[in-house]
Every structure is written in structure tokens, then in C-alpha cells.
Chains A and B, each alone.
Chain A
């Protein structure tokens, strides 16, 4: 279980200090799929970096199964937003996926096996010898996902993973992520600014306010699984949830600063 308590992060100091995150508390249970949405500039990436130990929180705690996170934990793998800047262009796809496994498997054969399995899981078998820049954007992001999966994490953090691909590829990648989750049972924490995506994917949607960020509301998503791009999105309940989250985001984006969490909302509590 990943749990975040009263997380606060400010950049800089003195009069020039920027408060990115004011107060975040949330937990992600084992096997859960949690999506975090917020308006652009809501400190979502900052939060993820605190969760995976890349940034030190100014105050508050991040714990993983009870142990405080002080550096990148081996149970967490990350998929970053900009695939073109997260894959090493000097390595082939296989070497990119295998790079983080060097400290886990001594033998190259073991590594190769895991890499092959991961590439197969994202539908990229046969592309291991290509270089990332020889692939399309969607394929590159699948390589990044394979790299995360090969690492065999308990939790996969995804930072706006589909923000820079076209709409059709985006839908394909969303379904890929759902399938991977069903196959592996890995806990997923995905950050996005796309409300449809969040509602479509998640068990719970955590709505963040504009900067300085707080949690506005946690919305349980009671849509049936398995989900489908057409049938799920046609459900009245999908529209309801979507509208609810959108209202929250609109309000906070307009207000700018962090409002008090909306107490009057009832929709999220229904189950």
C-alpha cells in the first residue's frame, strides 16, 4: 500500500518560493487503479516525483507498505510523459528495456527472457533490435511501458503517459494498460489531465486543485469491468462521473488558488 500523508512541496525559498503542493493525502491499495486528474500546472508531476522518491517533500510523508520512501524504491517503476526524452536513443529497444534489470538479474539470458516477455506483453515482439527513434510515438511509449513491466514492480506510476500521442493511439494504449493490469495485477497510479481517460481507466479518481494543490475529492468509479471504449463510454453513469469531475476541475481552474474541498457533492459518495 502506498500512502501519502500531508504532502507539501515548495520550490525555492524566501520571497521567491513557489508552493506547488499545499496538502495532499491519499492512499493507493494493492491492486488498485487510481487516476489523478487536475488542471494543467497543478503540480501533478511534482507529486509523482515525490512518490517515486525523485524529489524530497518539503513536509509530510510518503510510505510504501509502512516504510518511508527516501529514494527511488525497487517496488515502483515509472513511465514518464515524454517518451522521446525518457528512452535512451543510443540503445536498442531491448537494451532500453533491459537496462534497469542489470541490478536484478546477473545473467544476460535471464534479462533477455524478461525483456522478451515484457515486449510481448505490449505487442512489440520483433522490434527489440530497433532503435526508439525508428518507432512511432505510440510504439515508443509502449517501449517505456514494457521497461516498467520488465522491472516487475508492485506499483506502476504513469505520468501523463498518453499526452503526446494521437487520439486513436491513445485509446489503444489505454486498453493496453487495462489489459496489462488484468494480466499482472500490478497497482497503477496514473496522472492525467484528461477526464475521460481518468474515469475510463480508474477504480478511483483523485481530483487535484490548481496550484498550490490539495485533494478536492476522491471519486469512486463504479463502472463495470472489463471496460470498453464504446460500451463503457456509452453508459449514463460514465457521463455522470465525467460531468462531476469536470465540474470540479472547471471550478478550481477558474478559482486558481486552492479552494476548500467541496463538501456538498454527493455523487462521489454513492456506491
Chain B
């Protein structure tokens, strides 16, 4: 019953789209049938390798760099009050700067290739991961660190077996925020200047008045957003299964 209710509105919306667009003669609002045809023609699977794969690769590469650097730098800043104080103005500015404002200058500096896009995605995603890591590392229970020290764990073991696992739930919250931002950055970098990518295809369809293609690209981007978010949740559920179990118990 619940499933039916939850699916009711999405199904109704699609039906509404289908019926209202079926007889549409407006060039901007093509019949859903045509959109689906364009979707199949482009994305199953002609452009999959040439455009979808580059988009997703850039997003994941940027996010991965941001995650690795963010956790490493965040852990260092979280451990050292002095270091955090010293870099605080730079960090505050970096995280408050609307990341999309960096896109024009990144194109000037690094061109419109993959490197430029990955770099700007990584830079903007860095801050949510970094700040969450700082917070998380600071919040690690000192009792656990006493245990680790009294049993003579090496600093590397303390990092791997105590500090990072303890910080993981909050770090994941940061990565999740970063994922949303990475997606925005991916699309905007491709809309601004690119030679391939889903965003690029969608925007160039506008310039050639291939309206069904635009709608198809939009649908694909939407599905991609949903898919990435779902995949992330699966990953999180795996890595943090202990945390989920513990929280549900309390």
C-alpha cells in the first residue's frame, strides 16, 4: 500500500507529461515519445562511451582527489590546533567561495580539457570533506586514544584503526555533501566550455535546435544524479554498517 502511494505521484507526473505532450506542436515541448526516441538513439549506447563516461570519470576523479586530500589535510588540521589556527583564514575563504565562480579562470589557466575540470571539481569538493574531517577528528573520544596508546599501537595503527574509523560517519556526511557539489560542478563546467560530456551534448543540442535531444540529456542527467546518490548510499551502508547497527540499537 505504501509503495503504491509513493509511486502514485511519480507515475501520475510521467503520465501527465506523456498526455500533455503527445499532441504538442510547440517546438519547445516535444512529445515524450520523441524524447524517449532521442534518448535511445543518443544514450543507448552511441554516446555512452564518448560523453557519459568522460562526465562520470571527471566527477569521480575530482571527488576522489578531494576525498583523499580532504581527509589527509583535515586529519592533520584536526590534530593540531596551531596548524588549524594558522590556516583558518585560508580555509574559511576557500569554503565560503562559491565554487562556480572559479570556472572561468580555471578555463583560462588550464584550458577546457579533463585536467581543468577535475581540478576545479576537486578544489570545490575539498572543503566539505576537509571541514567535516577536522570536526570529526576533534570529536574522537579521548578514551579510545588512551586505549590505543596504552596498548602501544603505532601512530599509523592509531590512525588506521582508531582515528579514521571513529571519524568515518562524519567524514561520510562530508563526502555526501561533496558529491552533490561535484555533480553541480561537473554539469556547469561542461555547460560553460567543453568538447564532450552529457552537459556539453545537452547544451549543444540547444544550439542546433534539437529539442528532443535536450530533453533526453536532461532526463539522463537526472537519472545520473539519482544513480550516483543511490550508489553512494550503498557504499556508505557497507562501510558504516557498524555505525548503522549501533545507532539503530540505541
List residues of chain A with CB under 8 Å of any chain B CB: 49, 52-54, 72, 74, 76-78, 80, 82, 85-86, 88-91, 99-100, 102-103, 131, 133-134, 147, 151
Given known A99-B161, A133-B249, contact A89–B243 (CB-CB < 8 A): yes
Given known A90-B243, A131-B246, A133-B246, contact A78–B168 (CB-CB < 8 A): no
Q: How large is the interface on B (under 10, 10 to 19, 20 to 34, 35 or more residues)?
A: 20 to 34
Given known A74-B152, A102-B157, contact A86–B147 (CB-CB < 8 A): yes
Extra contacts besides A53-B150, A78-B151 (18): CB < 8 Å: A54-B146, A54-B150, A72-B150, A74-B152, A78-B147, A78-B150, A80-B143, A82-B143, A88-B144, A88-B161, A90-B166, A90-B243, A91-B161, A102-B153, A133-B245, A133-B246, A134-B245, A147-B151
Going nearest first, the 9 A-B pairs with the smallest beta carbon separation are: A100-B151, A85-B143, A90-B165, A133-B246, A90-B242, A72-B150, A78-B150, A86-B147, A52-B150
Q: Enumerate chain A residues within 8 angstroms of B242, measured Cβ to Cβ.
A: 89-91, 131, 133
Contact yes or no, A134 B141, CB < 8 A: no
For the complex, is B33 an interface residue (Cβ under 8 Å from A)? Answer: no
Q: Enumerate chain A residues within 8 angstroms of B245, measured Cβ to Cβ.
A: 131, 133-134
Q: Report the tally of A-B residue pairs with Cβ distances under 8 A.
A: 67
Question: Which of A82, A91, A133, A147 has the most C-beta atoms of chain B within 10 angstroms of its own C-beta?
Answer: A133
Q: List 19 A-B contacts (CB under 8 A).
A: A49-B146, A52-B150, A72-B149, A72-B150, A77-B150, A77-B151, A80-B146, A85-B141, A88-B162, A89-B243, A90-B168, A90-B242, A99-B151, A99-B153, A100-B153, A102-B157, A131-B245, A131-B246, A151-B151
For the complex, is B26 an interface residue (Cβ under 8 Å from A)? Answer: no
Q: Enumerate chain A residues within 8 angstroms of B151, measured Cβ to Cβ.
A: 72, 77-78, 99-100, 147, 151
Q: Enumerate chain A residues within 8 angstroms of B166, measured Cβ to Cβ.
A: 88, 90
